[in-house]
Amino acid sequence: YFLEKGYVRSYTLNEDNEEVTTNIFYAPCFVNDFLSFFKKEPTKEIYQTISTCSFWETSLENVQNNFHNIPDFREFSRLLFVINYYKLNDRIIALTSQKAETRYLNLLEKHPDIFQHVPLKIIASYLGVTNSSLSRIRKEIVKF
């Protein structure tokens, strides 16, 4: 899907059956699990709209046809895969090497609009912290 308007999240359930947000998508962008799409297998994540959304849908057959027949589409897709890999890799490194406060500040700096459209419990999950930890981080930052 291509998200033309709105906010969507992807999440999975951990071993305690708690939702863990894996991504927050905001328009304009593609919303899908690329590997699942191309392998025609179910995704391991659940996708949920967070706000009113508008989407464009396409099929694997249509994408494959465009790959073979439209050179600019092929180059655009290649760039899209590289960008998505970069974002995923950057997120993994941030989750493993940065403090929660740093992750929060980075998200606030790069995407302040998310805080106006996405519930804090989803943001906390995305940042890998509890709701109370996010509340504490936000209070500490306000003091400065």
Q: How confident is the model at residue 33, as a pLDDT?
A: 87
Q: What is the pTM of this model?
A: 0.85
Residues of the chain with pLDDT > 70, as a percent, come to 99
Segments of the chain with pLDDT less than 70:
144
Cα dihedral across residues 108, 113, 116, 118: positive or negative: negative
Q: How confident is the model at residue 36, as a pLDDT?
A: 87
Token pair 């962008």 is at which residue? 29
Which letter, b or e, does each residue of 94-103 get, where b requires 16 or more Cβ atoms within 10 Å of its Cβ? eeeeeebbeb
